[in-house]
Structure 1
Amino acid sequence: MKKFISFTGRYIIGISTVLTLLSFRSIPENNVGNKQKDQRPNIVIIMADDLDSRQLSCYGGQNLKTANIDKLAAQGLKFNNIYASEAMCVPTRASLFTGLYPVRHGSYQNHKPVYDNLKSVGHYLADLGYRVGLTGKDHVTKPKTVFPFDIIEGFEPNCVSPTDEYSLDAVKKYMAADQKPYCLFVMSINPHTPWTSGDTTEFEPDKLKLPADWIDTPITRRQYVKYLAEIRRLDNQVGDITRLLAETGQDKNTIVIFLGEQGAQFPGAKWNLWDSGQKSSMIVKWPGKVKEATETGAIVQYEDITPTLIDLAGGKAIAGLDGKTFLPVLTGKSKTARSYAYGIHNNIPEGDPYPIRSIRDNRYKLIMNLLPDKEYYNRFMMTRERKDRNTVWFSWVDKAVDDPNAKKITSRFVNRPAVEFYDLQKDPFELHNLANDPAQAQLIDKLKKELNAWMKQQGDAGAPIDIAIKK
């Protein structure tokens, strides 16, 4: 057996082919002692990094044509209401892998590790006879006892690498390596900062359509061009993976799932609970099982994905998980999955304490800012130590001096009320707070009670957990 050598800097220099099969449940009988190839479907999950899903042309984006992701949508089911419970990388991926909300898996602050006594999709699918591999961004794969993935060489593991060179050779070998089916996570680093990959010449800054909750400045447009170039790079990677499946003849018996993660590292998106950060994308292609060119308004969260993978692999529901299977939505037997999507934000270590909680249904969203007397501050966009003004945020601040609309948007970002309430059907960018509208009082009260009940069930104390963790 080859050994996993680890990685240094930006590149993996070794590969693990050791299969960690921890038996917490027996393998289905039809796999025991059967040397023929298991006919259950393979699963390939392609995940973006900090994707503003509104930019995908199949989700209405107008700045570029994402042909490969659009093709998946034409061949499968597009989810219009999938949400990250915490709009930052580590908590979202930990939720994806464990089926638990952030307070319960422990990674309720960015880069905070999960509790070391947990199980994850790596255990649950291995118990059902699947190989579970991961290539690319891998900083949510520790400890190995919680995340027993086969780490596959090929895609860049470091999300802040200035390049994202990749190869499909090891991925192809993994796909064909065994008679057992596989679940492979392909974790792209696009379009995460520093936005140095991709061809920017495709885009003309002056012709870009900016989101309604942004302020139009030259710096904003310049950075947006770099961001869109990485979305193009992401779309190309999706095309390479899907073509590999076709070339190897595996496309007919492989479920392909595309995931957008959370929003972009622009003001008001990532590290917030507005939809610009919390709302994601998911497309599921499953030949013969999922109807082509369809879409659903069913509410799902990243916590629901592992329970669904267990279900479609033939396993029984795991007691104690927060997520719920949405397999009936995939197969067309149900139009709904859950009543509410929940949100949690803890600002430490990416800024000053600023805890936020949220709940939403198919139309309305309630946000509770638990320290409304404080100002919101994020160190990546609003750096106090470096006010050279050559950043998106400070270009917004400068324009706000004599532009009323810019002042309104920057003030909304920094100074927030205790309660925000939005009609997302009429106000998708959450610019008109209805918290003080008497006509909404009853619904606000109902959602407050639901949100408080969820926090209690999770063991979420609220503001007291948004503190620096002693090491």
Structure 2
Amino acid sequence: MKLTRLVTVVALLLLSLCPAIHAAEARPNFLIIVADDLCWRDLGYEGNKEVKTPNLDKLCAESMHLTGMFNPATTCSPTRHSLYTGLYPIRSGAYPNHTRVYDGTRSLFTHLKDAGYRVALQNKEHVGPPESFPYQHIPGADDLTETRAFVTRDASQPWFMVYASNDPHSPWDRGTPADPAKITIPPYLHDNLQTRKQLAKYYGEIGKLDSQVGALLDLLEQTSQTKNMLVLFVSEQGSSFPYGGKWSVYDNGIRASALVRWPGKVAPGSTSPALMQYVDVAPTFLAAAGIDPEKIDVKCPDAAGASGFDGRSFLKILADGGEAFRSHIFAQHTTLGSYGAKEPYPMRAVRDTRYKFIRNLAPDNTFWIQGIHESQPFISWQKNAANKPDPALAARVKWLSHRPAEELYDLQNDLYETKNLAADPELATIKATLGTQLDAWMKQQDDQGMVAENKAKTRSTKMGKGEGD
């Protein structure tokens, strides 16, 4: 009788534990792969057939392609802070380049670690302070020895890792360059020999990134990690070419290439055009882990005192590939804090599915930073504009330093944002509507424009290795 009762008690105890056991088993592992200074257009699966990205093309075929993903900033550090915290840059305090969030702010690393995950970040960090990002740091991008040890450490514990490459960040001295004579120059770049040489090296370094992604994904296959694992690839912000996107709020800079692979949960080869932002990633990952993101306190309140995420979960989009998520996306650029910044030149932008409205808050100043204006190929563009009667090139060179207070673009008919329609009376209502949305966002973020720009240096930190502009 006693033995029977003991067996019964043990059986009941095991049954009571089953839901918890199943819940733990159901929690996915998470991997975010972050490129470095990669324009979303410059990938094979995005349509650039001159860039060889077989591993990322394969990942795309296995994933949902999120064609409406946008980042909220145009330099590495604020972009990464937003990705990991679910907060826009001004609100979190991480808005110039080489920056940090306000003390006490919590990140996805914090939330998942509190939920029992082990967490790591490999290679490029560029976030701080460490208390807000409590990950194990794995140095280097090419050696996966510690990566293997991390992902296989304890099969009973779920894990979250960010793999942050340094490629294809300039100076583009890794990988196998393309043939400068055979590449096609994108319409937003001036075609000369210097541009061709630089672009060929940049394309080669994208190939280096692709080989790293292939090696990483092979490791996960070899270690049987892929069955219940959500992989997100993002291209970060645009390249450092003039008009390549970095340091600007044009789509080359704020639109991101994004792929999500999650076997059994996300349809391979699917696509969603829904507008979404990096701030939506942290809530989505938490929801996928069975954690209600609406109950999370990020410890960094907005202007109204709310302490939840700026983003929200797009799990439903991943499940059904829907087209509607956000009606608008927002972005900002802070010039001060970047190398060679001569004067404040802050930018704010709002975009819907067709139109983008930009405010340049100090249009009488000169936009001038080392990464564009004191580097190739821009120096060669200046010489060409001065030595040849090319009014169009001269105008583009001038535009890179001087822009009007307002810009409005019809992205359906002007993919590269070259025709400013801000003064078009037929679009006055559209401009006003977008301006109202931008005002509301800035108010929620406690973004006081030039006040924030002039305080940027107080939010700056020293760089780590591999974290240049």
Q: TM-score under structure 2 normalisation?
A: 0.87
Distance (whole Å) between structure 1 residues aligned to residue 26 and residue 337 of structure 2 = 46
Hey, what does 2:355 align to over in structure 1? 364
Q: Deviations over 1:412-457 (max 9, x none)?
A: 2222111111111111100011111111110100000110111011
Q: Determine whether 1:314 maps to 2:301.
A: no
CA RMSD of aligned residues (A): 1.9
Aligned partners of 1:422 and 1:433 also within 8 Å: yes
Q: Secondary structure at the match of 1:469?
A: helix
2:417 equivalent to 1:430:
yes
**How far is 1:236 from its partner?**
0.6
Aligned counterparts of 2:132 and 2:257: Cα–Cα separation in 1: 26
The answer (yes or no) to whether the contact 1:39–1:181 under 8 Å persists in 2 is no
Partner of 1:345: 333
Residue 182 (structure 1) aligned to one of 139, 150, 159: 159
Q: Contact 1:153/1:171 (CA < 8 Å) preserved in 2?
A: no
Q: Are 1:241 and 2:216 matched, yes or no?
A: yes
Contact 1:215–1:409 at 8 Å: present in 2 too? no
Matching residue within 393, 401, 408 for 2:378: 393
The one-letter amino acid paired with 2:163 is: V
Contact 1:154–1:169 (8 Å) recurs in 2:
no
Match of 1:286 in 2: 262
Aligned equivalent of 1:404, options 387, 391, 395: 391
Identify the residue that residue 453 of structure 1 maps to in structure 2: 440
Q: Where does residue 202 of structure 2 map in the other structure?
A: 227
Partners of 1:437 and 1:36 in 2: CA distance: 56
**Structure 2 segments unaligned to the other structure (5+ residues):** 1-15, 298-307, 461-469
1:324 pairs with 312, 320, 325, which one? 312
In structure 1, what is the Cα distance between the partners aligned to 2:218 and 2:179?
30
The 1:53–1:31 alpha-carbon spacing in structure 2 relative to 1, beyond 3 Å, is farther
Distance in 2 separating the partners of 1:222 and 1:130: 45
CA contact (8 A) 1:78 1:294 kept: yes
Structure 2 residue identity aligned to 1:324: R
Partner Cα separation in structure 2 for residue 172 and residue 460 of structure 1: 42
CA distance in 2, matches of 1:86, 1:31: 44
Partner of residue 68 from structure 1, selected from 45, 55, 60: 55
Q: Structure 2 CA distance, aligned partners of 1:328 and 1:355?
A: 35
Q: What letter is aligned with 2:114?
A: D
- C-alpha change, 1:257 and 1:412, in structure 2 (3 Å) is same
In the alignment, structure 1 segments of 5+ residues that lack a partner are: 1-28, 156-165, 384-389
- One-letter code of the match for 1:119? R
Shift of 1:279: 1.2
Alpha carbons 1:129, 1:180 under 8 Å: kept = yes
2:41 maps to 54
| Matches of 1:107 and 1:395, distance apart in 2 | 34
How many residues align? The count is 424
Is the alpha carbon distance of 1:358 and 1:182 closer, same or farther for their aligned partners in structure 2, counting shifts above 3 Å?
same
Offset of 1:112 from its aligned partner? 2.1
SS, match of residue 373 in structure 1: coil
Q: By how many angstroms is 1:391 displaced?
A: 2.1
What is the TM-score with the length of structure 1 in the denominator?
A: 0.87
Take 1:85 and 1:324, find their aligned partners in 2: how far apart are those partners? 14
Kindly, what percent of the aligned residue pairs are identical?
39
1:321-380 CA deviation, whole Å, 9 max, x = no partner? 101111111011632221111011110022120011000011110011111122211122
Provide the rounded CA distance (Å) in 1 between the counterparts of 2:274 and 2:22: 39
- Which is richer in helix? 2
Flag the 1:35–1:173 CA change in 2: closer, same or farther, 3 A: farther
Paired with 2:152 and 2:441, the residues of 1 have a C-alpha distance of 43
Partners in 2 of 1:303 and 1:234 — Cα distance?
24
**Secondary structure of 1:339's match?**
coil
How much does 1:30 deviate?
6.5
Residues 31, 129 of structure 1: 8 Å contact kept: no
Residue 33 (structure 1) shift:
8.6
The alignment partner of 2:371 has SS state of coil
Separation (CA, whole Å) in 1 of partners of 2:37 and 2:125:
15
Local SS of the residue matching 2:214: helix
Question: Equivalences for 1:153-302 in 2 at 5 Å?
Answer: 153-155=139-141, 166-178=142-154, 179-200=156-177, 203-268=178-243, 269-302=245-278
1:169, distance to aligned residue in structure 2 (A): 1.3
- How far off is 1:153 after superposition? 3.8
